[in-house]
Amino acid sequence: MSAPASKAPLRLGLAGLGTVGIGVVKIVQEHAALIEARTGRPVVITAVSARDRTKNRDADLSGYAWETDPVALARREDVDVFVEVMGGHEGPARDATEAAIATGKDVVSANKALLAHHGQALALAAEAAGRVIRFEAAVAGGIPVIKTLTEGLAGNRMKRVMGVMNGSCNYILTRMQAANLSYETVFEEARQLGYLEADPNLDVGGIDAGHKLALLASIAFGTKVSFGAVELEGIGNVSIDDIRLAEDMGYRIKLLGVAQMTGRGLEQRMTPCLVPASHPLGQLQGGTNMVVLEGDSVGQIVMRGPGAGMGPTASAVMGDVIDLARGLHLPTFGQPAATLADPQPAKSATPAPYYLRMTLLDKPGALAKIATCLGEAGVSIDQMRQYRHEGANAPVLIVTHKASRDDIDHAMGRFAATGVLVGAPVALRIEEV
Amino acid sequence: MSAPASKAPLRLGLAGLGTVGIGVVKIVQEHAALIEARTGRPVVITAVSARDRTKNRDADLSGYAWETDPVALARREDVDVFVEVMGGHEGPARDATEAAIATGKDVVSANKALLAHHGQALALAAEAAGRVIRFEAAVAGGIPVIKTLTEGLAGNRMKRVMGVMNGSCNYILTRMQAANLSYETVFEEARQLGYLEADPNLDVGGIDAGHKLALLASIAFGTKVSFGAVELEGIGNVSIDDIRLAEDMGYRIKLLGVAQMTGRGLEQRMTPCLVPASHPLGQLQGGTNMVVLEGDSVGQIVMRGPGAGMGPTASAVMGDVIDLARGLHLPTFGQPAATLADPQPAKSATPAPYYLRMTLLDKPGALAKIATCLGEAGVSIDQMRQYRHEGANAPVLIVTHKASRDDIDHAMGRFAATGVLVGAPVALRIEEV
């Protein structure tokens, strides 16, 4: 082993004193000796910033300089590493991160939105300045997935990366299933329990999870982060009927992110999917996260762990900090940002079976008309069930053979003209895992 | 990011051209451009060694210098990193590793036995020489668990580390359960399929898995590797009856390694245990490995992946090689070997419920005598079942409340004197996961 570059303390400037920030303070204070034994040097906090100094935060902050402005914190001369756990992809978080890089600091960030939107520019700036940005805490909470992908599996050409990375959505879907409740009921429950962001669409619309997927895809495939190219579909249209029907066929519905490099380009989607109930993804309960990493040599690696919370997120932040204390410096996305390729976005090019649920008018020939639309779009049918019903409308479930999303959309476009459809049909991909 | 220390190629000397060695050759050859993009420098093989040069190995080795003696390979001046994938904890593997360190090379090893027996001495030698030894491939095949524990979770005080780390044993146990076959039948099947080591006791006796556990424990708890202190019990006494009875109670039997730091010292055991069928450990099938890492901040992280084979093991070797190419140098066990503590071995100090199965003479008062023995040893009973039977012997199943292994052994010691026992009783820990 090489001795650490310096026995001088590594000095952190901590921006944000919410749950995660206080978690970082606790680890730095309680594990000072442990961390010094592991890194060969002390790791200390010299300064912190947050808006409200008077708030009771259940931690002793008296030894730290206080800045109200995170940009001022980022510029301090007694800070080596700027630790950003504020959140927000514009405003103070962005300004302070840029200021930190401009004044020669390394950055440890838990901010998935900032990196999903500005990761490429920030990485270029950091690399030009000879600094690093690390963001383990931004993806899948306490699971060290960035490190695993960038370092542990670096001998692989990655084939596919998947993940359930929004605990709130997984809570809602598993609770619907377990308690046989509607989406609306469980959504309201989750809101009242404080499980959802102030803007719940960040969670249930798949945006937060989409940010994380875009970051993983960049690292896995050596491409620039392209959040705008992620196909996003939230869980708002998943009904308890879908959950029950999927269960009957041996599947669970998950908000699953998939990034895959294909001959047509980079697929990135964050959508509700059916996965086998017997796969670890299908068995994932509540707020837990899971990532599945598939490489050409290693095959499939599955990692499961807490996706949020004080301890897990602070653990991820400190993993990055300890790497810096040990002198491990890698480019933000695993290779220099200037060498990342422009991804060619491909809309779900990889065919898969699809689950289609719809309600038809109970008229002779209605089902035949739907089947014809599918056939004309080149989609063949694996299973079709019409359920016993009362009244004029018949619930119908179709499982297709493998088809592209384009063909499915094409067929569904034709459904409308048949005049036999009641309401909108639901189409969910059955992901092969 | 810092530029790599040098753009010069990193030159590997590869000792061992079995399955794993050829896997390493393939990755180095097929992913040369990918690896250079990720590390900023070429990674090349300059020389190889194996006993038989004439063997057809399905790889182009023509560009590499050949050494018959791995010690000569380790000493070559055109080698920067000695990659040891031969195996064996004495003889050529040990000699060559020592020679590599003595001549200033870093070492990447897949050799769990060597490190479990001589890890401390080798690490001290390497650190004195300013070199590193890395061994991701020695534990849990393709799962980057060493990196996760040493780096990703380095902000945690680890509480417990568990794992199913011998694929052959897990194959035998899951096959017994799925096909309702005896241990002897499946053992023979596994032997014929080539799933077992030449000395099968390395697998089914828990020795191979015990080596891996001792390495994980050292890293997790900052203690010297102490394989000799691992409580080892193989799977040879697990009967199909045990598997069926455990299943009835919602458990699966796994050869589970557990390392845990307690007030009384370091517990390390590799023994057949009952784990809940609903936990990922209980669901693990066939040759797959799983490790469970529990830290004070992160909570529980579970990693699943292939535990052996050409691709997965070579992937782990190359993860280490790429770290070296990037200039990431950590001490062998995560902190300098000279600072590792002497572990205080504690025999299963942590109490757990136990599963006890025995056969009693069908006489009045037999069960009462057994219950009395347990009571006198301070072990209380949670469940007791006597099964319907024909003939003079009654099968009895007892699940205890939490007890220490010492108390269980104490009670079982008293069973013999009762004169009601037929054969030896079976005691399996029910691990809380």
User: Across the interface, do B155 and A23 touch by the CB < 8 Å criterion?
Assistant: no
- At A240 the pLDDT is 96
pLDDT at A5 over 90: no
The identity of residue B144, as a single letter, is: P
Ramachandran class of A327: left when φ > 0, alpha when ψ lies in -120 to 50, beta otherwise: left
Single out the residue of A97, A142, A89 nearest to residue A308, CA to CA. Answer: A142
pLDDT at B93 over 70: yes
For A215-227, the pLDDT digits (tens) are 999 999 999 999 9
pLDDT at A195 over 70: yes
Domains of chain B as residue ranges with CATH: 153-306 (3.30.360.10), 354-430 (3.30.70.260)
Residues 314-333 of A with CB under 8 A from B: 314-319, 321-323, 326, 328-332
> Tokens standing for B63?
């560009």
For A320-337, the pLDDT digits (tens) are 999 999 999 999 999 999
Where helices occur in B193-272 by DSSP H, the ranges are 201-204, 207-221, 240-248
**Rounded CA gap, A203 and A164, in Å?**
12
Write a three-state SS string for chain A.
Answer: CCCCCCCCCEEEEEECCCHHHHHHHHHHHHCHHHHHHHHCCCEEEEEEECCCCCCCCCCCCCCCEEECCHHHHHHCCCCCEEEECCCCCCCHHHHHHHHHHHCCCEEEECCHHHHHHHHHHHHHHHHHCCCCEECHHHCCCCCCHHHHHHHHCCCCCEEEEEEECCHHHHHHHHHHHHHCCCHHHHHHHHHHCCCCCCCCHHHHCCHHHHHHHHHHHHHHHCECCCHHHCEECCCCCCCHHHHHHHHHCCEEEEEEEEEEEECCEEEEEEEEEEEECCCHHHHCCCCEEEEEEEECCCEEEEEEEECCCHHHHHHHHHHHHHHHHCCCCCCCCCCCHHHCECCCECCCCCCECEEEEEEEECCCCHHHHHHHHHHHCCCCEEEEEECCCCCCEEEEEEEECCECHHHHHHHHHHHHHHCCEEEEEEEEEECCC
- Is position B267 annotated in a ligand binding site? no
Closest approach of chain B CAs to the CA of A68, in angstroms? 27
Quickly list DSSP for B310-364.
Answer: HHHHHHHHHHHHHHHHTT----TTSS-GGGPBPP-B-SS-S-B-EEEEEEEE--T
3-state percent breakdown (helix, strand, coil) of chain B, nearest 5:
40, 25, 35
pLDDT at B259 over 70: yes
**Rounded CA gap, B75 and B98, in Å?**
10
Residues 338-397 of B with CB under 8 A from A: 339
> Tokens standing for A116?
């999903």
Percent of chain B with pLDDT over 70: 99
User: Across the interface, do A315 and B136 touch by the CB < 8 Å criterion?
Assistant: no
pLDDT at A114 over 60: yes
Q: Which helix (H) or strand (E) holds B102?
A: helix B92-102
Instruction: Output DSSP code: residue B5.
Output: S
Going from the C-alpha of A128 to that of each of A13, A118, A123, A133, A321, the distances in angstroms are 22, 16, 8, 12, 21
Of A105-109, A308-312, A348-352, B333-337, minimum mean pLDDT range: A348-352
Q: Which helix (H) or strand (E) holds B303?
A: strand B299-306
User: Across the interface, do B328 and A332 touch by the CB < 8 Å criterion?
Assistant: no
For A69-82, the pLDDT digits (tens) are 999 999 999 999 99
Is there a contact between A331 and A129 (Cβ–Cβ < 8 Å)? no
Closest approach of chain B CAs to the CA of A177, in angstroms? 17
> Tokens standing for A362?
């109970």
- Taking the Cβ of residue B112 and every Cβ of chain A, the question of whether any pair is shorter than 8 Å is answered with no
pLDDT at B95 over 60: yes
> Tokens standing for A372?
């014809």
User: Across the interface, do B299 and A23 touch by the CB < 8 Å criterion?
Assistant: no
Closest approach of chain A CAs to the CA of B307, in angstroms? 10
Count the residues in chain A: 433
**Rounded CA gap, B124 and B119, in Å?**
8
For all residues of chain B together, what is the average pLDDT?
94
pLDDT at A400 over 80: yes
Using the structure block, give the residue that is written with the tokens 């891996």: B212
A431: Cα separation from own chain's centroid = 17
- Taking the Cβ of residue B40 and every Cβ of chain A, the question of whether any pair is shorter than 8 Å is answered with yes
User: Across the interface, do A319 and B34 touch by the CB < 8 Å criterion?
Assistant: no
CB-neighbour burial class of residue B388 (10 A; exposed 0-12, middle 13-18, buried 19+): exposed
**Rounded CA gap, A433 and B348, in Å?**
38
Of A160-174, B2-16, B219-233, minimum mean pLDDT range: B2-16
pLDDT at A197 over 80: yes
- Taking the Cβ of residue B280 and every Cβ of chain A, the question of whether any pair is shorter than 8 Å is answered with yes
Angle B176-B182-B183 from CA coordinates, rounded to 5°: 80
**Rounded CA gap, A254 and A276, in Å?**
10
- At B6 the pLDDT is 52
Of A129-133, B130-134, B353-357, B421-425, minimum mean pLDDT range: B421-425
User: Which residues on neighbouring strands pair with residue A161, listed in sequence order?
Assistant: A259, A293
Using the structure block, give the residue that is written with the tokens 């039997």: B253
Q: Which of A37, A151, A301 is facing B143, going by the closest CB pair?
A: A301
For B262-298, the pLDDT digits (tens) are 988 999 999 999 999 989 999 999 999 999 999 999 9
For A246-275, the pLDDT digits (tens) are 998 899 999 999 999 998 899 999 999 999
Instruction: Output DSSP code: residue B225.
Output: -
pLDDT tier for residue A162 given thresholds of 50, 70 and 90: very high
Q: What ipTM was estimated for this complex?
A: 0.94
Q: At a CB cut-off of 8 Å and minimum separation 6, what does B315 contact?
A: A153, A155, A156, A295, A297, A298, B23, B27, B142
| Residue B301 phi, psi (nearest 5) | -110, 130
Quickly list DSSP for B126-183.
Answer: HHHTT--EE-GGGSSTTS-HHHIIIIITTTS-EEEEEEE--HHHHHHHHHHHHHT--H
Residues 84-103 of B with CB under 8 A from A: none
Task: State the sign of the Cα–Cα–Cα–Cα dihedral B247, B250, B256, B261.
Answer: negative
The identity of residue B402, as a single letter, is: K
Q: What is the mean pLDDT of residues A29-49?
A: 97
User: Across the interface, do A304 and B302 touch by the CB < 8 Å criterion?
Assistant: yes
pLDDT tier for residue A6 given thresholds of 50, 70 and 90: low
User: Across the interface, do B315 and A155 touch by the CB < 8 Å criterion?
Assistant: yes
Write a three-state SS string for A119-183.
Answer: HHHHHHHHHHCCCCEECHHHCCCCCCHHHHHHHHCCCCCEEEEEEECCHHHHHHHHHHHHHCCCH
pLDDT at B1 over 80: no
User: Which residues on neighbouring strands pair with residue B341, listed in sequence order?
Assistant: B223
Could you tell me which chain B residue has the CA closest to the CA of A284? B280
- Is position B84 annotated in a ligand binding site? no
Closest approach of chain B CAs to the CA of A162, in angstroms? 14
- At A388 the pLDDT is 79
**Rounded CA gap, A68 and A76, in Å?**
13
Q: Which of B40, B154, B319 is facing A154, going by the closest CB pair?
A: B319
- Taking the Cβ of residue A279 and every Cβ of chain B, the question of whether any pair is shorter than 8 Å is answered with no
User: Which residues on neighbouring strands pair with residue A232, listed in sequence order?
Assistant: A270
For B199-224, the pLDDT digits (tens) are 999 999 999 999 999 999 999 999 99
Q: What is the mean pLDDT of residues A150-163?
A: 98
- Taking the Cβ of residue B230 and every Cβ of chain A, the question of whether any pair is shorter than 8 Å is answered with no
Percent of chain A with pLDDT over 70: 99
> Tokens standing for B307?
């535990």
